[in-house]
Structure 1
Amino acid sequence: MSNVDLSQYNNTLTRKNQIARLIWTMVWFIFAKPLPRSLGNSWKLFLLRLFGAKLHKTSVVYSSVKIYMPWNLEMHEYSCLAPYVDCYNVDKIIVGANSTVSQKTYLCTASHDITKTSIPLITAPIMIKDQSWVGASVFIGMGVTIGQGAVVGATASVFKNIEPWTIVGGNPAKLIKKRVLND
Structure 2
Amino acid sequence: MENVALNEYSEKKPKFIKRILWKFINKTIFRLLIGKKLFFVRNALLRIFGAKLHQRVLIYSSCDIFAPWNLEIDKFACLGPNVEVYNKAKVVIGANTVISQGSFLCTASHDISKNLLPLISKQITIKDRAWVSADTFVGMGVTIGEGAVVGARSAVFKDVVAWTVVGGNPAKFIKKRVINE
Partner of 1:34: 32
Partners of 2:86 and 2:105 within 8 A in 1: yes
Whether the 8 Å CA contact 1:168–1:176 is kept in 2: the answer is yes
Q: How does 1:110-121 map to 2 (within 5 A)?
A: 110-121=108-119
User: 3-state SS of the aligned residue for 1:177?
Assistant: strand
By how many angstroms is 1:30 displaced? Answer: 2.6
C-alpha separation between the residues in 2 aligned to 1:110 and 1:55? Answer: 22
Partner residue, 1:160: 158
d(CA) in 1 for partners of 2:6, 2:109:
20
CA-to-aligned-CA distance 1:5-47 (integer Å, 9 cap, x gap) = 7795221223xx2211110011222321012223310000000
> Equivalent residue for 1:70?
68
The corresponding residue for 1:93 is 91
CA distance in 2, matches of 1:6, 1:58: 45
CA RMSD for the aligned pairs?
1.6
> Take 2:84 and 2:66, find their aligned partners in 1: how far apart are those partners?
8
Pairing partner for 1:50 from 48, 51, 58: 48
- Specify the SS of the correspondent of 1:20: helix
CA distance in 2, matches of 1:36, 1:27: 14
Local SS of the residue matching 2:101: coil
Paired residue type of 1:157: A
Q: Counterpart amino acid of 1:98?
A: N
Unaligned stretches of 5+ in structure 2? none
Aligned residues: 179
Structure 1: gaps spanning 5 or more residues: none
* Match among 22, 45, 56 for residue 24 of structure 1: 22
Q: Distance in 2 between matches of 1:58 and 1:38?
A: 11
